[in-house]
Structure 1
């Protein structure tokens, strides 16, 4: 699958291959180039990419988000929910 490329004025400033890298890049770029992240969020580029890699739940949680802090909070919430679901599944499958 293709990674997500954070671009700023025709220059690639970050790359994410999965949700963990997406979180790290949004955090880093949120400090270094918040306008870049906010543009990708507002334009829906990140949501489209998340759907492409099969992360529809997180895509839905980020739909309409245009703020770096809000995006990070939702990504972390999604990861925590996913972690709890995995633990619950392991518990019940024993």
Structure 2
């Protein structure tokens, strides 16, 4: 699968291969180039990429979000929910 490329004025400023890397890049770029992250959020690029890699739940949580801090909060919420679900599944499958 293709990674997500954060681009700013025709140059690549970040790359994410999965949700964990997406979170790290949004956090880093939110400090270095917040307009870049906001643009990708507003244009729906990140949501489209998440759907492409099969992360439809997170894509839905980020739909309509354009704020860097809000996107990070939702990504972290999504990861926490997924972690709790994995623990619950392991518990019930014993």
Query: TM-score, normalised to structure 1's length?
Result: 1.00
- The Cα shift of 1:72 comes to 0.0
**Number of residue pairs aligned between Structure 1 and Structure 2:** 94
- The Cα shift of 1:66 comes to 0.2
- The Cα shift of 1:53 comes to 0.1
Partner in structure 2 of residue 70 of structure 1: 70
Consecutive unaligned residues of structure 2, counting only runs of 5 or more, are none
Q: Distance in 2 between matches of 1:18 and 1:45?
A: 14
What does 1:9-28 align with in structure 2 at a 5 Å threshold? 9-28=9-28
Secondary structure of 2:6's aligned partner: strand
RMSD: 0.1
